[in-house]
Amino acid sequence: MYLRSVKTIRLESVENFKNQLLLWSQQFDDVIWLDSNSYIQDYSNYDAVLAVDAFSNIKTSYHQAFQKLRAYQSNTKDWIFGYLTYDLKNAVEDLSSTNFDGLKFPDLYFFQPKKLFLIKDHRLEIKYLKCVENDIEEDLRKIYDYTEPQNHPAKKNIKIKLRIHKDAYFEKVTQMLAHIHRGDIYEANFCQEFYAENTRIDPLETYIKLNKISKPPFATFMKTGNNYVLSASPERYLKKEGLRVLSQPIKGTARRSQDLHLDSLYKTALANDSKERSENIMIVDLVRNDLSKIAIKGSVRVDELCNIYTFNQVHQMISTVTAKVDSDTHPVDILENTFPMGSMTGAPKISAMRIIEALEETKRGVYSGAIGYISPEGDFDFNVVIRSILYNATNRYVSYSVGGAITSKSNPLKEYEECLIKAKAMRTVLEN
C-alpha cells in the first residue's frame, strides 16, 4: 500500500479551478481527466478527477492482459487510472482482431499517478505520493496562476474520410440482418470509422470544444505519451462501490430540437419506440447474465428499465442493472467477466463479436472500450468510450467511430442516419 499526503481545500469557483487544472496538467506525459460536467445523476462519487505524472505503469497487448492487470493492481494497492480496449475480447474469448488499425494504441494501459485531484461540490481533495508531497503548495500556486500559452498553431482544414461508404454500409447491415433472420444472433452493435490522415490537431482545444457542445456525464481527456482520447461519453460501463456493482447500458437514441414542443415529441417517441425498447431490454438481459458470473446468487436486479435521459445532443434510453459481490472478489475479475460491455457487442455476445469483426473494417481499439480508475480499496468507475475523438500525434492520425444496434426491425437507412446524428459533434469540432 502506497502512502499519500492529503490536503483538502474549499474552492470558491469550481469551474475556474477546473479550467486552470486541466491547462496545468498538459505538461505531463500521462494525464487522465474525468468530468461529470455537473450532470445530475444518482451514482457519482466525484464531480471531476485529475490523475497525472506516472510513478509506475502497465502497458500490454491483450495476451493475459487481465492477469497482468490483476497482478499490477494487487501489487500497487493504490489508485490506478487507464483504459481497456475493446480488443481485450481476445483475452476472454477465442477471438481475434485483424482489421485495419491506424491508431496503434496498446491494448491495455494503466498508470499509478504521483499527483491526484478529486473534486466534489466545492471541496478539493489533493492526494500526492510521499515522493512528491513537497510539491503540493507549489503546484497549487502554479495552478491558480497558470496562463494558457498564446502560440496556437495555424488551423488546417481537416478532410474527414469514411472507412465504410454509404452503399457499403447498407450492404453490410443487410448481411447482418441475414445473420439475425437465420438465428445466428438477435442483435449486434455495428460500427463505422471516420478518419483523417496526415493531420495535426490541438488535443486539449479539441476536447474543450467537444465537451462544450455535449457536456456529458462521463467526459474524459486522456493523454498517454502521444496517444490521446477526447471523449464526450454519456455512458457508464461499470462502477463498483463497496460490494455493490452497477452497470448502465445505453441503447436507444433520438435527436434533439431547439423547438421545445418538437423536442418533447422526440423524447416521447423514443420512450414508446418498440424497436429501441427491445434493443435495450436485450442488452439488459446480456448485462444481467454477465454480472451473474461474479455476483452473489440472487443479487442481480434491474433498478430502472428503459428510462429516458436527455443530453445536449441527443435523448438516450438507459437502464440500470445492479448486483452484489463477495468481499474477496477481485475488482479485475469483475471487469474480466463483464468485458466488453454488452451495449457495444450484441446478443448472444460471442457470436455477435465474431460477426462484428467480419463485417467492420476497423480495429476498434480504445473506441467502445473503457476509461476509468481503480481505488486502493478496489472500488472502480469506468465509462464506455463512445462519442470520442482518438488521436495518435506521432502517426498524425485522427479517428472517431459511431455505431448502432442492428436488430430484426432495423432499417439500414434509419441506422445510417442515427450514426450521422451521433457523429455530428465530433465532425463539427474537427471541421470547425
- Lowest average pLDDT, out of 75-84, 152-161, 375-384, goes to 152-161
**Active-site residue, selected from the candidate residues 235, 336, 360, 418:** 235
Mean local confidence (pLDDT), 419-425: 92
Most distant CA atoms of the chain, gap in Å: 65
Which fold does the domain 4-147+157-431 belong to in CATH? Anthranilate synthase (3.60.120)
User: Can you give the pLDDT at residue 150?
Assistant: 63
**Is 70 exceeded by the pLDDT of residue 151?**
no
Please say if 115 is a catalytic residue.
Answer: no
Q: The C-alpha cell of 201 is what?
A: 490537431
pLDDT level of residue 153 (50, 70, 90 thresholds): low
Q: The C-alpha cell of 124 is what?
A: 478539493
pLDDT level of residue 154 (50, 70, 90 thresholds): low
User: Can you give the pLDDT at residue 301?
Assistant: 97
Cα angle, residue 148 at apex, residues 142 and 149 outer, rounded to 5°: 115
User: Can you give the pLDDT at residue 2?
Assistant: 86
Mean local confidence (pLDDT), 178-196: 96
Mean local confidence (pLDDT), 174-199: 96
Identify any residues that bridge with 388 across adjacent strands, giving them in sequence order: 231
pLDDT level of residue 41 (50, 70, 90 thresholds): confident
* Helix (H), strand (E), coil (C) string for 225-276: CCEEEEEEECCEEEEEECCEEEEECEEEEEECCCCHHHHHHHHHHHHCCHHH
pLDDT level of residue 148 (50, 70, 90 thresholds): confident
The strand ranges marked E within 70-162 are: 80-84, 108-120, 123-129, 161-162
**Active-site residue, selected from the candidate residues 89, 115, 172, 251:** 251
Q: Which of 111, 187, 110, 202 is nearest to 149 (CA)?
A: 202
**Is 80 exceeded by the pLDDT of residue 74?**
yes
Read off the pLDDT of residues 214-238 as tens digits, 9 standing for 90 and up.
Answer: 999 999 999 999 999 999 999 999 9
**pTM of the model as a whole:** 0.96
Read off the pLDDT of residues 9-37 as tens digits, 9 standing for 90 and up.
Answer: 999 999 999 999 999 999 999 999 999 99
Read off the pLDDT of residues 227-270 as tens digits, 9 standing for 90 and up.
Answer: 999 999 999 999 999 999 999 999 999 999 999 999 999 999 99
Read off the pLDDT of residues 300-330 as tens digits, 9 standing for 90 and up.
Answer: 999 999 999 999 889 999 999 999 999 999 9
Residues ≥6 apart with Cβ < 8 Å to 203: 221, 223, 228, 230, 391, 393
Please say if 251 is a catalytic residue.
Answer: yes
Mean local confidence (pLDDT), 43-69: 96
pLDDT level of residue 360 (50, 70, 90 thresholds): very high
